[in-house]
Structure 1
Amino acid sequence: MRILALLTLVVSLAVAAGAGQGSSASPRRPNIVFIVTDDLSWNLVQYMPRLRQLQAEGTTFSRFFVSNSLCCPSRASILTGKFPHNTGIYTNGGREGGFARFHDSGLERETFATRLRSSGYTTALMGKYLNEYTPTRLVDGAPAYVPPGWDEWDVAGKGYTGFDYLLNENHRLRNYGHSPEQYVTDVLAAKGVEFINRVTNGRKPFFLEIAPFAPHSPYTPAPRHETMYLNLKAPRTPAFNESDLSDKPSWLKHRRSLRSLEVSTIDEVFRKRVQAVQSVDELLGQLQDALRARGQLSNTYIFFTSDNGLHLGEHRLAAGKQTAFETDIHVPLIVTGPGVPRRSKLPHMTSTIDLYPTFAQLAGSPIPLAVDGRSLLPLLSGQTVTGWRTAVLVEHHGPDVTRGDPDFPGPSAGNPISYRALRTERATYIQYSNGEEEYYDLKKDPYQLTNSAKLLKPLVRGALHSRLEALERCVGNVSCWAAAGGQ
């Protein structure tokens, strides 16, 4: 613990010193650009050349996981640095989730946005906020609500189709139509570039979050990308249309094999998802170009991730999420910035709850003890870090989406009952609310084909259960760090 604290201090001093060098017009602290996509899975990265170049220029976290594989709970964890059991946000709406629950619980009063803004950063959010947020929704008696912590706010409620959406532009409502130039990802890219050009005239550092709706369903690409990858098919991993589900939990084991029409639909969805992320890839490049033109690229950290992944044909499931399979919980995190090693891959167990404390430390702000995560800066320094956590927690309450929710699963997509999952460096252990279990040794079984929970020795099962219990009870970075095996 003392070594980790020392490394954190060294990195913080290096960031402050490095940012203070250069012209007097440059901000003393680094800028931060945070791109959080919607349902972007690892198998899409290979089709994004600018993102792959970002990997070459920076560090990839090869074991980065979400706290919950559903949009709103995951985004709540990102904003607060807390597990779902500490935010109370488990679903996209209703009593256990959605924007109203997040707002009414007072969670907006302490997010990374409020932390950075109070630390002197100019902050902006563009794109998606939380499920059930809409620009016209009355909040405290008025529409066009902007949460605390944001200087610039260009947010839509229903931008999933890519066109015909409404943006709340700093308390002003603006309708966008169906012309090609109004495609939502392109509009967000233009606004992001304009923001960078405007705020870099001053001395304050900035934090820019851009949250595209792509590649979320209905997977609408920009018109210019509609003819790309027309012969592409979804990856046929060993888990695709899995031949034997007899060892799986009851919510899954009785599913029939995917029929040819369903497989064709899955292939079409994959093609459209690949097409849809082309505009996201271009957005990344446009932001980099703007930073370079303003002389700010070398003083800016760029974080690229997703709120969750997506299964698409694996384990006989059509397009969906919410499970604890790797397809859903394991997402990209790619980082570039001052002092970040190039072409580096880090195997440390990391989580979406770590983003808030990372941003706070970059801003030179104290990290609240109530935050469950840990700053990633010691890992991004390129130095050897010992005593890092050895497991992460994934939580799910379900079935938890209703008709009208953009994440409502079709009959073949899967909607598991409530579970809690422990993802260690080697395995995934899942406990369901009905007492069923899953255990996958990912060294021997990377595609999670064989549920070996029944073969666990009592001592091993007991140890896994105890770790899950401790993680699900933890509050704040001290107890959550210890429960996850951190030293």
Structure 2
Amino acid sequence: MGFRLRVAGMLAAVSLLTSCTSPRPAEPAASAATAPSAAPAETRPNIVFVLTDDLSMNLVQFMPHVRELQRRGTTFTEYTVSNSLCCPSRASLLTGKFPHGTGVFTNGGVDGGFALFHRRGHERSTFATDLRKAGYRTAFLGKYLNRYQPENTLGGTRAYVPPGWTDWYGAGNAYAQYDYVLNENGTVHRYGSAPEDYLTDVIGAKASAFIEASAAARTPFLVEVATFAPHSPYTPAPRDAEAFPGLRAPRGPAFDALPAHAPPWLADRAPLTAEQKAEIDHVFRKRAQSVRSVDRLLASLQATLERAGVAEDTVVVFSSDNGFHLGEYRLLPGKQTAFDTDVRAPLVVAGPGVRAGLRVAAPVQNIDLRPTFAGLAGAAVPADLHGRDLRPLLSGGEPAWRTAALIEHHGPDFDPADPDRPRPGSGNPPSYAALRTATYTYVEYVDGAREFYNRRTDPHQLRNLFPRLSPSRRAALHTALKKLTTCRGAACRTADRVRG
């Protein structure tokens, strides 16, 4: 039986972990480990994971190799993040837990950032540690968690490398793509401003070298390449700096429009000025330019897989830590809202056992990647994960699945050290929690404001219908949201099944 058929059979046979139970965990979670399936060593694929920064759905059109990946694999059209901000989203991705499970809600301070993630011991239980224990070689390259400093030894004798990674090339504040520092397996290296120092190209080349070495060693591997692009300042590679002359930001129905019954943090936004629209167009053009290097990186990794003879044995995953708004709802460039512009992101998977050309509308989230990677590797995972294994969906199955995604946010953000601190006019909502189902988005703010958008009839979220809901409907929504925001461990995989 060929490799693809063996993996397809394994994917079709896997069952979801919806019946697991576990005690309420302390932080960090230390529940008993379970393996979703017994995957024979010869069926375990390699995994290449490309994670971008702030890449919104409307940028995929400028990425031909991502579109080719969609043709070869499965696209999740309703993929959402647990928090539309870098650090909490990445913390959820690494651990398979919602922000209320990791405690990471922001990029720094008492409720976020690398220091909190590290202090709580979450690095001891991630998809990297899962796969390392299963015999995989693992590599990380690029952006880790906000406030991570490559030079920091954390009390050791060498620059700190988190557990689970056999190869580590972590960067700190490298948003400008030049003049940055990399922690290369515990040794600090400084890069300059020459064209060959452009960060996306550097980490792409190192990832290719890791793939070739792993293939030569005949060892299964996982590599995460985490780009800073297209995060501000939206620095394109030199060869892309003149691309897309005259390109303008999309002017959809939500552009320069306010929702009816907008929440207080948004309600006073004035119409965009001509100068602001020009700035938005400039930012969109720079973002489109900057993703060209990411697209080439993806193509280069694919070419390396083919050259090393492991392309047929490798699952390739492409995604982003969150979306981005540009003019929608009269907002200047930014994120952190519960609107689809910010919480939806691309997720494309291709490889052995994955249906080609498939589009899946199930509500999947970033918490699902850890159990999925572990399932592909036949690795044991803690029983208290909040996420679900995507493999049945990748093989074209229709398993019992969650009906609601959860988004959690702490704000407003006034931290001057935060590269994502919203500038005036870009949107800086107070703390909220939101439910997003196939048909609606419901948001509760800490200040008492509420939103309810029927996305089936109002896909651009311009009519807040909460004032028209019945008291019983309001109570049901509140109960469902509270149940999910307070869930622990495996109970989250039943709390995410919301009626109506």
**TM-score normalised to the size of structure 1?**
0.94
Pick the aligned partner of 2:171 from 149, 156, 162: 156
State how far apart, in whole Å, the 1-side matches of 2:15 and 2:264 are. Answer: 49
- Provide the residue aligned with 1:81 in structure 2: 96
Letter matched to residue 318 of structure 1: L
SS of aligned partner of 2:374: helix
Secondary structure of 1:65's aligned partner: coil
Aligned equivalent of 2:417 = 404
Which residue number corresponds to residue 24 of structure 1? none
Residues 206, 6 of structure 1: alpha-carbon distance in 2 compared, 3 angstrom cutoff: closer
Aligned to 1:369: 383
Return the match for 2:367 from 343, 347, 353.
353
Distance 1:214 1:6 in 2: 36
- Following TM superposition, by how much is the alpha carbon of 1:310 offset from its aligned partner in structure 2, in angstroms? 0.3
Letter of the aligned partner of 1:448 in structure 2? Q
Q: Which residue of 2 aligns with 1:485?
A: 497
Spell out the pairing of 1:266-305 with structure 2 (5 A cutoff). Answer: 266-305=280-319
1:179-328 aligned within 5 A: 179-242=194-257, 244-245=258-259, 247-328=261-342
Q: Once the 2 structures are TM-superposed, how far is the Cα of residue 343 of structure 1 from its aligned partner?
A: 0.6
| Cα separation, 2, equivalents of 1:78 and 1:134 | 20
CA distance in structure 2 between the partners assigned to 1:333 and 1:109 by the alignment? 26
- Contact kept, 8 Å, 1:394 with 1:421, in 2: the verdict is yes
Q: For residues 14 and 89 of structure 1, do their structure 2 counterparts lie closer, same or farther at Cα, with a shift above 3 Å needed?
A: closer
Task: Determine helix, strand or coil for the equivalent of 1:402.
Answer: coil
Residues 1:343 and 2:343 aligned together: no
2:44 equivalent in structure 1 = 29
Conserved in 2, the CA contact under 8 Å of 1:59 and 1:335? Answer: yes
Q: Which runs of 5+ in 1 are unaligned?
A: 21-27
Among 481, 485, 497, the alignment partner of 1:468 is 481
1:410, 1:424 → 2: CA distance?
30
Structure 2: which 5+ residue stretches go unaligned? 1-9, 17-34
Equivalent in the alignment of 2:67: 52
Query: 1:353 offset after TM fit, Å?
Result: 0.4
State the secondary structure of the residue aligned to 1:216: coil
Distance 2:389 2:36 in 1: 14
How many corresponding residue pairs?
473
Q: 1:407-455: per-residue Cα shift (whole Å, max 9, x none)?
A: 1111011110000000011000000001110010001111111111111
**After superposition, where does 1:66-145 map in structure 2 within 5 Å?**
66-142=81-157, 144-145=159-160
Q: 2-side partners of 1:413 and 1:453: how far apart?
A: 24
C-alpha distance in structure 1 between counterparts of 2:354 and 2:38, whole Å: 11
CA–CA distance in structure 2, aligned partners of residues 302 and 401 of structure 1: 37
State the shift of 1:204 in Å. 1.7
Letter in structure 2 aligned against 1:395: E
Q: Give distance in 2, aligned partners of 1:460 and 1:36.
A: 38
Match in the other structure for 1:425? 438
Residues 236-288 of structure 1 deviation map (CA, whole Å, 9 limit, x = unaligned): 0111111x455101011011111111110100000000000000000000000
User: 1:337 Cα shift?
Assistant: 1.1
Instruction: Answer whether contact 1:15 1:29 (CA < 8 A) is retained.
Output: no
Letter in 2 for 1:481: R
CA distance in 1, matches of 2:373, 2:44: 12
1:287-346 CA-partner distances (Å, limit 9, x unpaired) = 000001111111001111000000110001011000000000011100001111111000
| 1:8 corresponding residue in structure 2 | 14
- Do 2:208 and 2:301's aligned partners in 1 also have CA atoms closer than 8 Å? yes
Q: Offset of 1:138 from its aligned partner?
A: 4.0
**Larger deviation: 440-449 or 130-139?**
130-139
Q: Residue 472 and residue 13 in structure 1: after superposition, are their counterparts in 2 closer, same or farther (change >3 A)?
A: closer
Separation of aligned partners in 1, 2:124 and 2:401: 30
Amino acid at match of 1:454: P
Distance 1:423 1:130, change over 3 A: same
Q: Which amino acid in structure 2 is aligned with residue 287 of structure 1?
A: L
